[in-house]
C-alpha cells in the first residue's frame, strides 16, 4: 500500500524532500463551480453592473491565491509559478439556477507539481463569487472541486480524469 | 431586484462601507467535504501513521486560513475573529469511497458577518486533506461547500439552510 | 518644534501607543496618477481588450494593498478598515500622453487615521497599471502621490489640501 | 500595435506564461522621491533623533516590500530576488522644501524582469518616510516614480531612461 | 488540573472563543537575548558600519513580526495592536562574549492578552541580529526567551516573573 | 576583520547580492527548546487531550514559519525550500520541570544557506507550544536556540557545532 509521504518516521507531518526530483515543466488544470440562482446569474452574466465584472474580481482573487498556496496549505512547497490562466463557462443547473464552471490552468518549472495551486486558484475564485453575490442569496453552493489533468514529473504517470 | 453591494457607482468593485452597521456577536457555520477512496480512508481514520493525524494538520490549515480570509477574498473586510472550531465526520460515499464531512464554526463581534471566514476555513481544510493524500490517489473530489447557518446582524434575518 | 512620534527615548523606531486616542470615524482620501502614452491610453480606456479591464485589476490591487498597509509600512498600526472606494479619471498629459488620475477613499472606526491606507491603495493601483501595460512602454511615470483630505480624530484638525 | 500580454483570449487578466523565456541575470533600477518641508528635512538629515534613522526604517520597508511585490501586484510572477540595494540623496525642492531622492536596484536570475520589484521598493520606502513624518506635516508629496534602467532578457532591448 | 483551552471536545486544536472576555487594556513585556563574540559586539555597538545600525533593523523586524503573530502562531487571535516598544542593553557574557538583552513591550485594547505578540517580537529581533552577523560567526546563541510581565484581563491575576 | 555583509557602502542595510554564488544543495539543522512544568509535560506527552497533539500543531507552525522566513527576517533572501523535517525529544529539566528539545532540518537547492529558515522554524514551534500551554503556566522558558549544523556552499566550510 502506498505511503502517505507527508509524514516522517515519528509519524508527524513534514514537508517532504523534493530536491532529488527533476526540474521539469509541470502543469495542472483544476475545476470548481458555483451554483447560483437566476437573479445572480443575470447580474453577473449580463454585466448589468456597468463596467463591473464579478468574474474579473474572482479571477484576480484566484491568481493571487494560487501564488500563496504554499502559505495556505501547510505541507505545500513554495513554487515559482510561471503562468496562470482562468476560464469561465455557464451551464444550466437545477431549476431556476445556473452553474458557473471555473477552471484554472497553472504552469511551473520545478521539482514538484502544481495540482494544489490549481485547486486553490479555483477555490478562491468560487469563494469570491460567493462573497460578491451573497447579499442577494446565501444559498449558493460551491463545488465539486477536482483535478482535471496534470502533466510533468517522472515518478508519476500523467494524470487525466 | 437587490443590488450587488460590492460595486460602486462607476460599476467597479469596492469594499463596501460597513461602519454604520452595528457591532454585534456574529457566527457562521459552513460545511465542505472530500470524497476519498478506502485506502486513504483507512490511512486517515485508523491513524496508521503513528501519532500522525491528517485531520490535525487540516484543522490547523483551516483555522489559519480563516484568519487570512480578508487577504484571499478581495472585497472581504478584515475582521477580528474571536473563535474558530472544527468538526469532522465520516459518511459512506459512492462504492469503495468514504466522504469526510468538514464543518467549521466561526465567531466574531463586529460590523459584518463571518460567512466567508467559515467557508474559507472548510475549503482550506479540504484542500489540505487533498494535498496530504494525493500521493495515493489524485481522484479525490472536494465539496459541495456551502453555508449552513449564520446568526447576528440586524439588516438580514438569520440564515439557516 | 513638533516631535517625530515614531521614535522612542533611545531614538529608535517604535509603533506609537494610540490606545489613549478616542475611537472615532476616520476617513482619508489620497490621489496618485500615472502618465501613459496614447497607445496605452487607447488600450485601457476603449476596453479594446474584450471584457478585459486594466482598471478593474488595478482597483482590486489597491483595495487588497490597503488592507495590508500595516504589513508594508513598518510603524503603521493594524486597523480594521470599514470601507474602501476608488475612482479613476483621465486628463490630458504632456504631448501624446494622457494622465490617469487615481483616487481612493478609505474609512475606519478606530484610534488612528487611515492616511497611509489611502496612500498605499493608490500607489498599488498605479503600480498595477504600470505592470499591466509595461509590455507596450516602460516610460510611464507614476505620481505625484499625496493626501487630499482626512477627517476624524480630535488631536489634529481636519486636513484638506 | 503591441498587445497587452496580461490578458487572455477571453479578455480577462492572466499571469502570462514565462516558462519559455530564458533564465538570465536581470536587474532594474527605479527612482521615487518625497518632497518635505525644512523642519522634516532637518529632523531626518541631521539625525536629531538620537540613533534614530528614518531612512533606515524606510530602507527596511523597501527591501521587505520588494520581496512581496508578487503579493501586491496581481499579475506579477513570484521571483526569487538575489539582491536589493538602496540609496538616498537630498536635493533642493520648491521654496523651503527639500526633495529626498530614493533609488533602489534589484537583481534576480530568472525568466522575467524585476522592474515591478524596484518600483515597489521605492514606493514603499517613500510611503514609510511619509508615515514617520506625517505628525509634523501631512503636505508631503511622493513621486514622480519611474524606471531608470533595466538589463537582462532577450526579447526586449535593455531599457535606459 | 487546569485544562488546555486550545483543544475542543474532540481533542483537536481550536482557536478558543474569547468573545465573552472583557475588552480591557492589556500589556505584555517579554525578553530574549543573543550571545555574540567580541568581534560582532564591536561591529554592532560601536556603529562601525557608518550610519548602519543592526539594532535598527532588528527592531523593525520585531515590530513587524509582532503585528503578524496571529499568522505565525496557529491558535493566536488576530489582535489590533495599539503600541510596541523595544529596548536593548548589553551585558557581559561568557569569556570573550557579550549578551545583548532584547525586551519588547506590547499594548492592546482587546479580549485577550498580548503575551505571544511580545514573545514573537523579541524572537524575531534576535533572529534578525543572528542573520545580520552570521557572516562573522555562526555560533551565536539566542535566548532564553520568556515573559517578564503581563497586565490586564480579569480571569487571570497579573503576572510578573 | 570580517565585514558585515548586510550593509552597503552608505552603511545602510541591504539584501546582499548572492547571484554569483553557486546553486548547490544546502541544509541546516537548528535546535530550540522549551522548559515546562510537570503538569504541562503530562498534558502534552501523555496525549491526555484525546487525539489532540500540541506537538502536531507546533510542527505545522514551524514548517509554515520556515516558509515565510524571508517575510519575517528583513535581509533574508526568498528561498524555494525543498524539504523540512522536525523532531521532538523530552529531557529532564530543573526540579519538577521537563525540557522539550525541538530540532528542525531544512533543505534547499540555491545560492544561499538555510540557517535562518531552520532557526525560524524551531523558534515558531517553541512559541506555539508556549501559546497552547500558557493557560496552565506562563513561566515557561524558551531556548537556548542555536544552529547545530549546516552543509553546502563553497565560500564557507561546513559548520558543525
Interface of A with C in 101-120 (CB under 8 A): none
**What span, in angstroms and rounded, lies between the C-alpha atoms of C17 and D131?**
15
- Once rounded to an integer, what is the mean pLDDT over residues C131-138? 93
What pLDDT does B146 receive?
98
What pLDDT does C10 receive?
74
Whether F16 contacts chain D with CB within 8 A: yes
Whether E13 contacts chain B with CB within 8 A: yes
Instruction: Give the CA radius of gyration of chain D.
Output: 18
Cis status of the peptide bond prior to A101, with omega within 30 of 0 = no
Chain centroid to CA F148: 11
DSSP collapsed to 3 states, chain A: CCCCCCECCCCCECECCCCCCCCEEEEEEEEEEEEEEHHHHHHHHCCCCCCCCHHHHHHHHHHHHHHCHHHHCCCCCCCCEEEEEEEEEEEECCCCEEEEEEEEEEEEEECCCCHHHHHHHHHHHHHHHHHHHCCCCCCCEECCEEEEEEECCCCCCCEEC
Give D55's pLDDT tier (boundaries 50, 70, 90): very high
- How close F125 comes to chain B (CA, Å)? 13
Among C8, C13, C111, the residue with its CB nearest the CB of E82 is C111
Q: Helix D115-133 crosses helix D38-45 at what angle (to 10 degrees)?
A: 110
C-alpha dihedral over F30, E125, E63, C20, to 10 degrees? 120
- Once rounded to an integer, what is the mean pLDDT over residues E142-147? 98
What pLDDT does D1 receive?
44
Whether E64 contacts chain D with CB within 8 A: yes
C-alpha dihedral over E122, E123, E128, E131, to 10 degrees? 150
Q: Report yes or no: A99 and A35 within 8 Å, Cβ to Cβ.
A: yes
What pLDDT does B155 receive?
54
**What span, in angstroms and rounded, lies between the C-alpha atoms of D13 and D6?**
6
Inspect the interface and report whether the beta carbons of C39 and D2 lie closer than 8 Å.
yes
Distances (CA, A) of B135 to A70, A156, B99, C7, E6: 17, 9, 18, 52, 31
Considering only CB atoms, which chain A residues are within 8 Å of F109?
19
What pLDDT does E3 receive?
64
Point out the annotated binding site of B: 75-77, 116-117
Inspect the interface and report whether the beta carbons of A75 and F81 lie closer than 8 Å.
no
- Once rounded to an integer, what is the mean pLDDT over residues E67-84? 96
**What span, in angstroms and rounded, lies between the C-alpha atoms of C36 and C39?**
8
Of C39, C29, C136, the C-alpha closest to C83 is: C29
Among A43, A65, A161, the residue with its CB nearest the CB of B4 is A43
- How close B141 comes to chain E (CA, Å)? 24
Q: Report yes or no: A135 and B5 within 8 Å, Cβ to Cβ.
A: yes
Considering only CB atoms, which chain F residues are within 8 Å of D25?
19
Tell whether the model's pLDDT for residue C129 goes beyond 90: yes
Tell whether the model's pLDDT for residue B99 goes beyond 90: yes
Which residue in chain B is spatially nearest to C60 when comparing CA positions? Answer: B74
| pLDDT tens digits for range F83-103 | 999 999 999 988 899 999 999
| pLDDT tens digits for range B49-81 | 444 589 999 999 999 999 999 999 999 999 999
**What span, in angstroms and rounded, lies between the C-alpha atoms of B115 and A134?**
9
Q: Which residue has the higher pLDDT, D110 or E12?
A: D110
Whether D74 contacts chain F with CB within 8 A: no
What pLDDT does A161 receive?
86
In sequence order, which residues have a C-beta less than 8 Å from that of residue D60 and are 6 or more positions away?
A: C74, E56, E57, E60, E61, F13, F74
What is the predicted ipTM?
0.95
**What span, in angstroms and rounded, lies between the C-alpha atoms of F89 and E98?**
30
Helix (H, G, I), strand (E, B) or coil at B141: strand
Q: What percent of chain A has pLDDT over 90?
A: 75
Stretch (H or E) spanning F160 = strand F159-160
Phi-psi region at B126: left, alpha or beta (left = phi > 0; alpha = psi -120 to 50): alpha
Point out the annotated binding site of B for substrate: 75-77, 116-117
Inspect the interface and report whether the beta carbons of D14 and A81 lie closer than 8 Å.
no
Inspect the interface and report whether the beta carbons of D83 and F110 lie closer than 8 Å.
no
pLDDT, averaged across chain F: 90
| pLDDT tens digits for range B118-159 | 999 999 999 999 999 999 999 999 999 999 999 998 655 678
| pLDDT tens digits for range B26-38 | 999 999 999 999 9
Point out the annotated binding site of E for substrate: 75-77, 116-117
Interface residue of A23, A80, A128, A129 to substitute, partner D, most D CBs within 10 Å: A80
What pLDDT does F81 receive?
96
**What span, in angstroms and rounded, lies between the C-alpha atoms of D100 and D94?**
12
What pLDDT does E155 receive?
53
- Beta bridge pairs of residue A91: A99
Give E156's pLDDT tier (boundaries 50, 70, 90): low
Q: Which domains, and CATH codes, for chain A?
A: 24-153 (3.30.70.640)
Which residue in chain B is spatially nearest to A33 when comparing CA positions? Answer: B144
φ, ψ of residue D100 to 5 degrees: the values are: -95, 115
Tell whether the model's pLDDT for residue A142 goes beyond 70: yes
What pLDDT does A132 receive?
94
Residues recorded for chain C: 161
**What span, in angstroms and rounded, lies between the C-alpha atoms of B46 and A4?**
13
Residues recorded for chain E: 161
- Once rounded to an integer, what is the mean pLDDT over residues A34-56? 82
Helix (H, G, I), strand (E, B) or coil at D109: strand
Distances (CA, A) of D141 to C97, C119, C143, D35, D36: 22, 11, 9, 5, 7
Inspect the interface and report whether the beta carbons of A59 and D12 lie closer than 8 Å.
yes
Query: Which grid coordinates belong to D96?
Result: 523651503
Among A10, A15, A110, the residue with its CB nearest the CB of F63 is A15
Inspect the interface and report whether the beta carbons of C8 and E85 lie closer than 8 Å.
yes
Among A18, A74, A111, the residue with its CB nearest the CB of F63 is A74
- Beta bridge pairs of residue D31: D103, D146
| pLDDT tens digits for range D90-100 | 999 888 999 99
Q: Report yes or no: A100 and A7 within 8 Å, Cβ to Cβ.
A: no
What pLDDT does F145 receive?
98
Tell whether the model's pLDDT for residue A88 goes beyond 90: yes
Distances (CA, A) of F89 to E12, E56, F41, F101: 22, 36, 12, 5
**What span, in angstroms and rounded, lies between the C-alpha atoms of E80 and E85?**
15
Whether E137 contacts chain B with CB within 8 A: no
Tell whether the model's pLDDT for residue D2 goes beyond 60: no
| pLDDT tens digits for range C11-66 | 788 999 999 998 899 999 999 999 999 999 998 987 655 445 899 999 999 999 99
**What span, in angstroms and rounded, lies between the C-alpha atoms of F23 and A19?**
12
Total Cβ atoms within 10 A of residue A3: 11
Whether F136 contacts chain B with CB within 8 A: no
Chain centroid to CA B134: 20
- Once rounded to an integer, what is the mean pLDDT over residues C91-97? 92
Q: Report yes or no: A132 and A8 within 8 Å, Cβ to Cβ.
A: no
Our separate counts of H helices and E strands in chain C read: 4, 6
Among C74, C80, C110, the residue with its CB nearest the CB of E63 is C74
Point out the least confidently predicted range of A75-79, C36-40, F8-12, F152-156.
F152-156
Residue located via cell numbers 500500500: A1
Considering only CB atoms, which chain F residues are within 8 Å of A8?
85-87
Give C118's pLDDT tier (boundaries 50, 70, 90): very high
Number of CB pairs < 8 Å for D and E? 18
DSSP F40: H
Inspect the interface and report whether the beta carbons of B72 and A3 lie closer than 8 Å.
no
DSSP-H helix ranges across chain B: 38-45, 54-67, 69-72, 115-133
Tell whether the model's pLDDT for residue F1 goes beyond 50: no
Q: Report yes or no: F94 and F5 within 8 Å, Cβ to Cβ.
A: no
- Chain B neighbors (3+ CB pairs < 8 Å): A, C, E, F
Query: Which grid coordinates belong to A115?
Result: 495540482
Considering only CB atoms, which chain B residues are within 8 Å of E70?
67
What pLDDT does A1 receive?
44
By annotation, the residues of E acting in catalysis are 131
Which residue in chain C is spatially nearest to A58 when comparing CA positions? Answer: C60
Tell whether the model's pLDDT for residue F50 goes beyond 50: no
Burial class (CB in 10 A: 0-12, 13-18, 19+), C25: middle
DSSP E78: P
Among B60, B78, B81, the residue with its CB nearest the CB of E77 is B81
Of E2, E10, E26, the C-alpha closest to E77 is: E26
Inspect the interface and report whether the beta carbons of C73 and D131 lie closer than 8 Å.
yes
Distances (CA, A) of D119 to D14, D30, D149: 21, 5, 11
What pLDDT does F75 receive?
95
| pLDDT tens digits for range D10-30 | 778 899 999 999 889 999 999
Total Cβ atoms within 10 A of residue E153: 18
- Using CA of residue D15, residue D16, residue D21, residue D26, what is the dihedral sign? negative
Measured CA angle at D158 (ends C131, D72), to 5 deg: 20
| pLDDT tens digits for range D28-41 | 999 999 999 999 99
Interface residue of F6, F8, F13, F15 to substitute, partner D, most D CBs within 10 Å: F15
Tell whether the model's pLDDT for residue B47 goes beyond 70: no
What pLDDT does A52 receive?
56
Interface residue of C16, C76, C132, C136 to substitute, partner D, most D CBs within 10 Å: C132
Total Cβ atoms within 10 A of residue E16: 20
**What span, in angstroms and rounded, lies between the C-alpha atoms of F91 and F99?**
5
D117 marked among binding-site residues: yes
Tell whether the model's pLDDT for residue E153 goes beyond 50: yes
Amino acid at each position: 500500500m502506498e505511503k502517505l509521504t507527508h509524514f516522517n518516521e515519528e509519524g508527524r507531518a513534514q514537508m517532504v524532500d523534493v530536491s532529488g526530483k527533476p526540474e521539469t515543466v509541470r502543469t495542472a488544470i483544476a475545476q470548481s463551480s458555483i451554483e447560483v440562482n437566476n437573479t445572480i446569474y443575470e447580474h453577473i452574466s449580463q454585466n448589468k453592473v456597468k463596467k463591473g465584472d464579478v468574474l474579473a474580481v474572482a479571477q484576480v482573487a484566484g491568481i493571487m491565491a494560487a501564488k500563496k498556496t504554499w502559505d495556505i496549505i501547510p505541507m505545500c512547497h513554495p513554487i515559482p509559478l510561471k503562468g496562470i490562466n482562468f476560464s469561465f463557462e455557464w451551464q444550466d443547473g437545477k431549476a431556476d439556477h445556473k452553474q458557473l464552471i471555473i477552471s484554472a490552468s497553472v504552469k511551473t518549472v520545478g521539482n514538484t507539481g502544481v495540482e494544489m495551486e490549481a485547486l486553490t486558484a479555483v477555490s478562491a475564485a468560487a469563494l469570491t463569487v460567493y462573497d460578491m453575490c451573497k447579499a442577494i442569496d446565501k444559498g449558493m453552493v460551491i463545488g465539486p472541486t477536482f483535478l482535471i489533468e496534470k502533466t510533468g514529473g517522472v515518478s508519476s504517470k500523467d494524470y487525466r480524469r
